[in-house]
Amino acid sequence: MYGVINKSLRDMVTEGHGEAIWAQVLAKAGVPSDSFLAMRSYDDEITFRLAVASSDALGVDVDTALHAFGKHWVNHTLARDYDALVRSTGSTMLEFLENLNELHDRISTTFLEYQPPEFRVSELEKNRMEVEYISHREGLNSFVSGLLVALSERFNEPMSIEAIEDLSVDAGTHTKFSLLMER
């Protein structure tokens, strides 16, 4: 993953819990302090070690930490660093999600060796949609769930979100989420 992810995780921990907790995270994860250059690619294992160490330092399970990180990514990192891209990607949750793969394509010109996930969106009824999350990475469903929650808040479209099906794949992840608008 790219350093921008690691930097965002650091920001979430330091902004919410302080530098001392982040120092604990770094020590527990055994991650080099130079793992936070935004445009540099790092082994996924570094990010996963940081996430596990963060959950330990914060006293929560990894899924809870990843969910919070997904929300932080949208509310802080995306809003601060990529707001113009987000606004140009859609004005509703459905539009944004339908155009998310194109957004990742645009970003891929900036990041070398970028391997984004794929999202497939189906509007089944006016108040319900399904989002399929497909990635070569494993273990990020809670992060994606947090992203979806924060995006529903960003677009002022409150939704209940649940993973309804993990589809069988040889490697990586293929999960279907159900989003039900709370109107």
**Which domains occur in the chain, in start order?**
3-59 (no CATH), 78-181 (3.90.1520.10)
Global pTM reads 0.90
DSSP string, 69-92: HHHHIIIIIIHHHSHHHHHHH-SS
Q: Is 49 helix (H, G, I), strand (E, B) or coil?
A: helix
Count the Cβ atoms, other than its own, within 10 Å of residue 105. Answer: 12
CA separation for the pair 9, 14 (Å, rounded): 9
Q: What is the pLDDT of residue 170?
A: 76
Q: What is the pLDDT of residues 36-94, one digit of tens each?
A: 777 777 888 999 999 999 999 999 999 999 999 999 999 999 888 888 888 899 999 99
Q: Considering only residues 103 and 94, tell me which one the structure prediction assigns the higher pLDDT.
A: 94
Q: What is the pLDDT of residues 7-42, one digit of tens each?
A: 999 999 999 999 999 999 999 999 877 767 777 778
Q: Is 83 helix (H, G, I), strand (E, B) or coil?
A: helix
